[in-house]
């Protein structure tokens, strides 16, 4: 067993499950000893230490790196094992983490060169014996090893079921490990007084505006009435922040343009607090606060102690490792379709990258948790390109992992499930202009203002993600700069980005365009915007904030003014992020046909589903989605409900 991010790696690799690998055994003589080298990884230098005998690589250790927590840790663990086991550099990169894998190979090759090795002798591919095809039976088969899949696995195992999981990538975690990892939930422990010392009139207008809307149907009217009663009760207290699961539901529905399934939304938000306590009971640790997460529209966001979505996968994996007799998982293995018998889903066909075919039989149910398709250019152009997003072509980057391509959505469709909301896609406005990643965004992004290349603000920074993204796309070169002061960066050596980097590192490494300056005018010069214009933009923002005057762009959530030097800026762009469409499902996560009846034996959870987020997903709701519905899916599948 191997520890990754503090949790135990419980996945099985097809090489250990059914493949027999020999070593390259290249005849060569090298100078034995310990060597070290550094190569460029995804986000910075990656260093290795290599021990060599006179004819073999005896050990490889990655001594330091700056790769994305969760995602980058897999090749750091797995690549050295592959290299040593096969005494070869000609080993496969970890599927889905190729840049880090290649950096490790490059650094090890540098060490071999230092030792005078004949590199060709260490580039012979491993000898592989073709694996035999297998049939594996478990109570529950889960396709997809991301947040929803792991939540389903934990709840199914807890219900007494045996579980077999199959994952297409070379590691588990999926998009969950590169997500922001924020969790939305009403939280009376922290919301009542901890968020702010006094009530905020501007925040409370968000509530009153929603209460004053004309209902579009009776379910909407009933929810407004429930929130109004709760809000009026709140006003009779000395609490400083209003929230409730009903208010969370109303915002989720309104924020998604009222096109989602309101009953499903209410189920999710009502179970959000319970889900939050559940992941904490499994070992996930969170900061003792709530705040307004990026695109969440209201301060109910919780953030973990470690970056991205790794704490959820770590907590789930720890539980499953302790119950490993009931749980097995293979990676580098893609599902190819569902097995149907008499109209019921009874299993999954899958194939390893080396050609091994697996027939996975489910005694009770199959859970599809394969994610969305924001990274699949062809599908997003087919379904979502149009009036709202005129161009979703290959020039537009994505936050998604390359392996997440929407496969399971169409497995479900072919089994008879109805697809809904497929035209709905979300872009994220805080992304690296080149890679589409969010690993390098400052963790408290709402402390910043957004300025274009003319030095002007152009959109409310606490608004909907789609509105902000459209506004960025309309700017010169479709790029903006996030500008902030030291109010939220008191120590740049200790304040980290989403990917776990310090601001100092981002600046010194010339990474992601981060710059700093002692004055606003000097900052403007570094990002090539007119100094006088940026000075006026910052002054106008500060004046409005301190005077309580209405913000010219409608911003309602504010932090501190941008006054404390040094000042910081870095470029951002919009990237495809989340697909809100997918499989129609019910409160038990059963996949539904067009007539509303379930597809027997099939359950779906996570981004593969439609009907939750409508036309725009609130930031922080994706983690709630996979926690709540992943948990339900595991329970339902284990019961064969």
Cα–Cα distance for residue pair 628/641, rounded to 1 Å: 17
Residue 591 near residue 432, CB atoms below 8 Å: no
Q: Residues near 232 by Cβ (< 8 Å), separated by ≥ 6?
A: none
Residue 273 near residue 245, CB atoms below 8 Å: yes
Residue 151 near residue 605, CB atoms below 8 Å: yes
Q: Which residues of 155-181 are buried (b: 16+ CB within 10 A; e: fewer)?
A: bbbbbebbbbbbbbbbbbbbbbbbbbb
* Residue 214: how many other CB atoms lie within 10 Å: 7
* Residue 219: how many other CB atoms lie within 10 Å: 14
DSSP conformation letters of 501-517: -BHHHHHHTT-TT-EEE
* Dihedral Cα 300, 304, 307, 309, nearest 10 deg: -80
| Three-point CA angle 633, 638, 641, nearest 5° | 75
Q: Which residues pair with 347 in a beta bridge?
A: 339, 361
Prior bond of 328 cis (ω within 30°)? no
Cα–Cα distance for residue pair 492/448, rounded to 1 Å: 15
* Residue 596: how many other CB atoms lie within 10 Å: 9
Instruction: Give the closest residue to 637 by CA, choosing from 149, 23, 79, 254.
Output: 149
Where residue 603 falls (left for φ over 0; alpha for ψ -120 to 50; beta otherwise) is: beta
Residue 608 near residue 372, CB atoms below 8 Å: yes
DSSP conformation letters of 382-404: HHTBTTTBS--STTS-BSS-TT-
Count of all residues that appear for the chain in the document: 641
Cα–Cα distance for residue pair 640/583, rounded to 1 Å: 19
Q: Residue 355 carries which DSSP code?
A: S
Q: What stretch of H or E contains 108?
A: helix 98-114
Cα–Cα distance for residue pair 292/587, rounded to 1 Å: 28
Q: Is the dihedral of CA 49, 51, 54, 56 positive or negative?
A: negative
Residue 469 near residue 431, CB atoms below 8 Å: no
Backbone angles phi, psi at 344, to 5 degrees: -115, 140
Residue 316 near residue 282, CB atoms below 8 Å: yes
Distances (CA, A) of 601 to 157, 425, 565: 17, 28, 60
Alpha helix stretches (DSSP H) within 334-485: 377-383, 407-414, 465-473
Q: Residue 212 carries which DSSP code?
A: T
3-state secondary structure of 51: strand
Residue 465 is among the residues annotated as catalytic for this protein: yes
Which of 465, 555, 584, 617 is the catalytic position?
465
Q: Active-site residues: which are they?
A: 465
């Amino acid at each position: 067993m191997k520890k990754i991010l503090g949790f135990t790696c419980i996945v099985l690799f097809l090489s250990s499950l059914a493949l027999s690998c020999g070593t390259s055994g290249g005849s060569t003589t090298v100078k034995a000893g310990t060597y070290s080298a550094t190569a460029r990884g995804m986000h910075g230098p990656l260093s290795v230490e290599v021990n060599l005998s006179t004819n073999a690589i005896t050990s490889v250790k990655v001594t330091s790196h700056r790769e994305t927590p969760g995602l980058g840790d897999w090749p750091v663990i797995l690549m050295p094992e592959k290299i040593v086991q096969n005494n070869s550099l000609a080993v496969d990169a970890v599927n889905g983490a190729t840049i880090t894998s290649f950096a490790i190979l490059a650094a090890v090759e540098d060490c071999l060169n230092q030792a005078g090795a004949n590199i060709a002798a260490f580039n012979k591919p491993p000898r592989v014996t073709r694996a035999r095809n297998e049939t594996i039976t478990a109570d529950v088969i889960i396709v997809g090893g991301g947040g929803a899949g792991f939540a389903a696995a934990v709840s199914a195992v807890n219900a007494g079921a045996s579980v077999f999981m199959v994952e297409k990538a070379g590691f588990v975690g999926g998009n969950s490990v590169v997500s922001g990892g924020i969790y939305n939930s009403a939280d009376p422990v922290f919301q009542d007084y901890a968020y702010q010392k006094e009530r905020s009139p501007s925040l409370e207008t968000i509530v009153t505006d929603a209460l004053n809307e004309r209902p579009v149907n009776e379910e909407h009217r009933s929810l407004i009435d429930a929130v109004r009663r709760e809000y009026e009760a709140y006003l009779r207290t000395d609490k400083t922040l209003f929230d409730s699961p009903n208010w969370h539901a109303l915002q989720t529905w309104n924020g998604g343009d009222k096109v989602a399934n309101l009953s499903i939304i209410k189920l999710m938000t009502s179970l959000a607090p319970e889900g939050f306590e559940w992941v904490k009971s499994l070992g996930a640790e969170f900061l003792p606060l709530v705040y307004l997460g990026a695109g969440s529209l209201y301060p109910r966001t919780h953030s973990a102690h470690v970056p991205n979505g790794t704490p959820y996968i770590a907590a789930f994996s720890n539980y499953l490792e302790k119950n490993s007799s009931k749980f097995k998982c293979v990676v580098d293995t893609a599902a190819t379709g569902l097995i149907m018998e008499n109209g019921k889903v009874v299993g999954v066909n899958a194939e390893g990258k080396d050609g091994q075919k697996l027939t996975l039989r489910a005694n009770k149910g199959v859970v599809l948790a394969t994610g969305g398709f924001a990274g699949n250019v062809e599908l997003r152009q087919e379904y979502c390109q149009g009036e709202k997003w005129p161009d979703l072509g290959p020039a537009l980057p994505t936050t998604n992992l390359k392996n997440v391509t929407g496969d399971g959505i169409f497995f479900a469709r072919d089994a008879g499930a109805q697809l809904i909301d497929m035209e709905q896609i979300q872009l994220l406005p805080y992304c690296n202009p080149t890679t589409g990643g969010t690993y390098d965004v400052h963790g408290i992004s709402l402390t910043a203002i957004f300025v274009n290349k003319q030095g002007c603000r152009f959109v409310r920074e606490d608004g909907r993600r789609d509105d902000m993204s459209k506004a960025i796309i309309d700017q010169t070169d479709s790029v903006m700069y996030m500008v902030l002061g030291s109010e939220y960066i008191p120590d740049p050596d200790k304040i980290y980005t989403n990917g776990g980097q310090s601001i100092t590192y981002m600046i010194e490494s010339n990474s992601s365009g981060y710059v700093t300056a002692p004055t606003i005018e000097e900052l403007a010069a570094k990002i090539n915007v007119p100094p006088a214009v940026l000075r006026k933009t910052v002054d106008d923002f500060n004046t409005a904030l301190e005077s309580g005057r209405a913000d010219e762009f409608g911003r309602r959530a504010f932090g501190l003014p941008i006054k404390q030097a040094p000042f910081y800026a870095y470029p951002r762009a919009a990237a495809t992020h989340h697909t809100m469409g997918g499989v129609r499902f019910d409160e038990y996560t059963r996949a539904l046909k067009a007539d509303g009846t379930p597809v027997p034996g099939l359950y779906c959870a996570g981004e593969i589903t439609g009907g939750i987020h409508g036309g725009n997903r609130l930031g922080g709701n994706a983690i709630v989605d996979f926690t709540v519905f992943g948990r339900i899916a595991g329970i339902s599948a284990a019961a064969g409900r």
